[in-house]
Amino acid sequence: MSSNVPTDLRYTKDHEWARREGDLIVVGITAHAVEQLGDITLVTLPNAGTKVTEGERFGDVDSVKAVSELFAPLGGEVVEKNGELDAAPESLNEDPYAGWMIKIRPTNPADFDALLAAADYEKLL
Cβ-contact 108, 75 below 8 angstroms? yes
Residues 6+ apart with CB under 8 A from 85: 43, 45, 91, 92, 99, 101
Cβ-contact 58, 52 below 8 angstroms? yes
Residue with Cβ nearer another protein (12 or 63): 63
Residue with Cβ nearer another protein (25 or 52): 52
Min dist CB 57 to another protein, Å, is: 9
Q: Which residues bind another protein (CB under 8 A)?
A: 38-39, 41-42, 44, 60, 62, 64-67, 93
Min dist CB 26 to another protein, Å, is: 24
Min dist CB 53 to another protein, Å, is: 16
φ/ψ of residue 19, rounded to 5: -135, 140
Calculate ∠ Cα 117-53-125, nearest 5°: 30
Residue with Cβ nearer another protein (64 or 110): 64
Residue with Cβ nearer another protein (18 or 101): 101
